[in-house]
């Protein structure tokens, strides 16, 4: 693969939210550009106005920026080969389509919609895949001029060779040869003057100097027609890299109906954005070593086209959640605090608690950020609970033993000065009491946790919860538990 003066492009259509398949394409496109010191270009392909969704362009911008995929040229920042929004380049496409007509590589087609529907119906009745029957391909020049002069609506179609083959090279799949007889005379310019996607992206890729085209392998079947267009214009053909699909399972693609189709779905479910990007990179690409946790910069260093798979990538929600948990554990305290705080504040509004202790307790125990609100909802208000919360078969605790443990804990905690109320000092005092009483750790710690939280599952043990809640509230909650157990 050529690695000099690389220019890649991500060219999404503004038709809604960012599907993870599109985001993965953007990621690979960005990585390949940055790995070799090239340029990453953002182009908005909005020629299909029927599918345009208001606000979708901002979704594209915001998603890429949130993931750190900053573009070097694009609609909002400009560049030497703009405009970077396809609908603003309309005059360009008609000019190039007419050039192909002049050189005999395209032709005017005057077939009406009604005629095409009839042709397709007849083809389907015969078991033939509907395609254009080339009715206008060889119209005499005089007839074409007469129809144009009369203002007859037309499209411009590509004039594909009727015999021979077309071969293109893909970095992943190698050389692929297709009989020209299998290719249809695709529309290049529609009746309304708008270019089709297949034509516009070839023209724009050339004019913008795109050297490497990374896209989904659903475009493999169209690539021979792209190559014929490049050859017709006498343009250099870019390097192609067609990546495999992302599947929910062996027989089904990811879809919104099944959940987890869009980037925003994962963010809403509490995934950390760098972890989302990390997992998406692994969908169809395998690093050389055992490590699978990568920052964006590390992905750029590690990425190798040879690691791309020719088989569909199966989305594994269990693995993604595990990777997210690893990310949340590996980031700094401050990074986790920034990510976790909005979730903490959904159920915990108190300002007098030790937020840093809470964050420290949550970080090693959180896989999804959306788990946090339920984990900390006991802080503002102790829930109602039953005495059987203090039963634990493994620890051999009962409401009776819990009463003894909590009664012993109160004076120990009261003797810790307010200024020394830290996890370390609480641990030191409580464990000294445990040793003095000659009991197992859980005999005292489990009742403390239950009394402080009113829950069986918490983000930390009794000592950690005491450090978070503060001295006054901790002792007050334990005394309430003693009253309830008495």
Task: Give catalytic residues, as residue numbers.
Answer: 256
Contact 118, 220 (CB under 8 A): no
State the CB neighbour count (10 A cutoff) for residue 84. 23
**Phi then psi for 185, rounded to 5 degrees?**
-80, 85
Structure letter (DSSP) for residue 218 = G
Q: Which two tokens stand for residue 393?
A: 């078969």
Nearest-10 crossing angle of helices 223-233, 90-102: 80
State the CB neighbour count (10 A cutoff) for residue 65. 11
Q: Which two tokens stand for residue 325?
A: 């948990």
**Phi then psi for 247, rounded to 5 degrees?**
-115, 150
Look-up of token digits 């993931």: 67
Q: Which two tokens stand for residue 243?
A: 């990546």
Contact 91, 189 (CB under 8 A): no
Strand 239-243 vs strand 212-216: parallel, antiparallel, or unpaired? parallel
Closest CA to 415 of 428, 405, 403, 404: 428
In whole angstroms, what is the distance from residue 10 CA to residue 71 CA? 9
Strand 252-253 vs strand 246-249: parallel, antiparallel, or unpaired? antiparallel
Contact 293, 327 (CB under 8 A): yes
- Alpha helix (H) residue ranges in 261-376: 263-268, 273-282, 296-302, 317-330, 333-347, 355-362, 372-375
In whole angstroms, what is the distance from residue 410 CA to residue 398 CA? 18
How long a stretch of residues is the chain? 486
19 Cβ neighbours under 8 A, 6+ residues apart: 254, 261, 262, 263
Contact 171, 239 (CB under 8 A): yes
In whole angstroms, what is the distance from residue 433 CA to residue 405 CA? 10
In whole angstroms, what is the distance from residue 461 CA to residue 426 CA? 12
Q: Chain-centre distance of CA 297, in angstroms?
A: 17
Q: Which two tokens stand for residue 412?
A: 């120990």
Closest CA to 96 of 180, 198, 237, 240: 198
């Amino acid at each position: 693969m050529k690695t000099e003066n690389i220019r890649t492009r991500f060219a999404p259509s503004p038709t809604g939210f960012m599907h993870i398949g599109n985001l993965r394409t953007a990621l690979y496109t960005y990585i390949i550009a940055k790995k070799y010191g090239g340029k990453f270009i953002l182009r908005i392909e909005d020629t299909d106005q029927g599918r345009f969704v208001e606000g979708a362009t901002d979704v594209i911008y915001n998603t890429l920026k949130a993931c750190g995929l900053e573009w070097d040229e694009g609609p909002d920042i400009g560049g030497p080969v703009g405009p970077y929004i396809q609908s603003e380049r309309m005059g360009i496409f008609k000019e190039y389509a007419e050039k192909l007509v002049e050189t005999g590589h395209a032709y005017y087609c005057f077939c009406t919609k009604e005629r095409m529907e009839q042709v397709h119906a007849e083809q389907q009745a015969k078991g033939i895949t509907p395609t254009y029957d080339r009715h206008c391909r060889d119209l005499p020049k005089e007839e074409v001029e007469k129809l144009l002069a009369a203002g007859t609506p037309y499209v411009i179609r590509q004039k594909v060779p009727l015999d021979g083959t077309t071969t293109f090279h893909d970095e992943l799949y190698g050389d692929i040869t297709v009989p020209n007889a299998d290719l249809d005379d695709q529309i290049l310019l529609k009746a309304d003057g708008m270019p089709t996607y297949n034509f516009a992206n070839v023209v724009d890729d050339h004019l913008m100097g795109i050297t490497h085209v990374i896209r989904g392998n659903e475009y493999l079947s169209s690539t021979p027609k792209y190559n014929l267009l490049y050859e017709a214009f006498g343009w250099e053909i870019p390097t192609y890299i067609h990546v495999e699909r992302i599947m929910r399972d062996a027989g089904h693609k990811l879809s919104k109906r099944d959940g987890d189709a869009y980037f925003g779905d994962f963010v809403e479910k509490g995934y950390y954005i760098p972890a989302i990007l990390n997992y998406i990179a692994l969908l169809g690409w395998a690093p050389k070593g055992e490590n699978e946790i990568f920052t964006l910069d590390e992905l750029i260093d590690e990425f190798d086209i040879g690691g791309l798979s020719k088989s569909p990538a199966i989305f594994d929600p269990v693995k993604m959640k595990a990777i997210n948990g690893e990310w949340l554990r590996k980031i700094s305290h401050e990074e986790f605090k920034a990510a976790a705080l909005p979730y903490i504040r959904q159920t915990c509004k108190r300002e007098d608690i030790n937020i840093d202790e809470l964050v420290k307790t949550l970080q090693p125990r959180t896989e999804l950020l959306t788990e946090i609100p339920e984990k900390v909802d006991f802080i503002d208000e102790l829930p109602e609970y039953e005495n059987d919360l203090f039963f634990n078969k493994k620890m051999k605790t009962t409401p009776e033993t819990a009463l003894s443990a909590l009664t012993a804990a109160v004076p120990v905690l009261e003797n810790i000065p307010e200024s020394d109320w830290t996890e370390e000092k609480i641990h030191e005092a409580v464990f000294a009491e445990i040793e003095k009483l000659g009991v197992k750790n859980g005999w005292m710690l489990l009742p403390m946790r239950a009394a402080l939280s009113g829950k069986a599952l918490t983000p930390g043990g009794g000592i950690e919860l005491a450090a978070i809640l503060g001295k006054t509230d901790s002792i007050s909650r334990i005394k309430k538990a003693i009253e309830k157990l008495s």
